[in-house]
């Protein structure tokens, strides 16, 4: 059973546009929601993460919006660039004290930004 559902599977955006990727979860015990960016042949790299005590977090062109009641969170990439073309994974985890627990990944979104 997929603990974290991610959509869309693929996304094509014009350069300068906004890319939006959505994720939903069921387990209300999740309290840590990171987004990872992966380029072909490379391991995932942490992009940005949020905890449920805030509804939005912004780092540069990347913003996470979090809706606790709807159990949904999304990644917004503003002013999308061709260099942003990659696969994006949302994930969720239960933090136990200072130790990060297992990550449950979404299926991934392949983003293509056309110049």
Partner 1 sequence: GAVVSQHPSWVICKSGTSVKIECRSLDFQATTMFWYRQFPKQSLMLMATSNEGSKATYEQGVEKDKFLINHASLTLSTLTVTSAHPEDSSFYICSAHGTGENIQYFGAGTRLSVL
- Positions that interact with partner 1 (CB under 8 A): 32, 34, 36, 41-46, 49, 89, 95, 98-100, 102-103, 105-108, 110
Nearer to partner 1, 18 or 100 (CB): 100
- Nearer of residues 76 and 107 to partner 1, judged by Cβ: 107
b (16+ CB within 10 A) / e for 63-77:
bbbbeeeebebbbbb
Nearest to 112 by CA among 21, 48, 5, 45: 21
Query: Cβ 52 to partner 1, closest distance in Å?
Result: 14
Of the two residues 57 and 107, which places its CB atom closer to partner 1 in the complex?
107
**Three-class DSSP category at 8:** coil
Give me the least distance between CB of 13 and partner 1, in Å please.
19
The C-alpha atoms of residue 70 and residue 41 are separated, in whole angstroms, by 34
């Amino acid at each position: 059973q997929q603990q974290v559902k991610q959509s869309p599977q693929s996304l094509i955006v014009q350069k300068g546009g906004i890319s939006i990727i959505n994720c939903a979860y069921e387990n209300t015990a999740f309290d840590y929601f990171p987004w990872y960016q992966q380029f072909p042949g490379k391991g995932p790299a942490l992009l940005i993460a949020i905890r449920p005590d805030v509804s939005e977090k912004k780092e540069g062109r990347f913003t996470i919006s979090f809706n606790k009641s709807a159990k949904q969170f999304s990644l917004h990439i503003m002013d999308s660039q061709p260099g942003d073309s990659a696969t994006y994974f949302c994930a969720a985890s239960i933090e136990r004290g200072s130790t990060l627990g297992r990550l449950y990944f979404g299926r991934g979104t392949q983003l293509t930004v056309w110049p």
